[in-house]
Structure 1
């Protein structure tokens, strides 16, 4: 997946949950210091951006080998350098 490649994350998986409509799935990338979640965007609030990329705390089951940037501005820049459009939305 391009997002994980752009962020230097080698290990990721697709996961399934009804909490992630409309397709009930998301992707989770494993970093030593953080995890990166990629899911379909809420169409009502993000019509120009079909996906959300969320930085969360690390998970214990991912066998992570890479250190992940947790700085939102740096992550946005990395995605833009890979040819993706990005917009910061800090929660």
Structure 2
């Protein structure tokens, strides 16, 4: 199953500057594994040492935040658009 992954500016050094890349997998976890196979190191910037989504990284499948779905087990049907969005803080 092929999906498109929108890559934030801060992670584009891993994708050679590409803002959107293709990956495959039936779940978000599988997509991240496939993404890391093509762009070594990117998964480590999205997941923490425990293998969970980093606290300040939001991931959406379509318009839905995966934290309110099945987290890394969220289904990624063929043609899905996944967005990785770093949280912004400030005052």
After TM superposition, the score normalised by the length of structure 1 is 0.28
Q: Relative contact order: is structure 1 or structure 2 higher (C-alpha 8 Å, sep ≥ 6)?
A: 2
After TM superposition, the score normalised by the length of structure 2 is 0.28
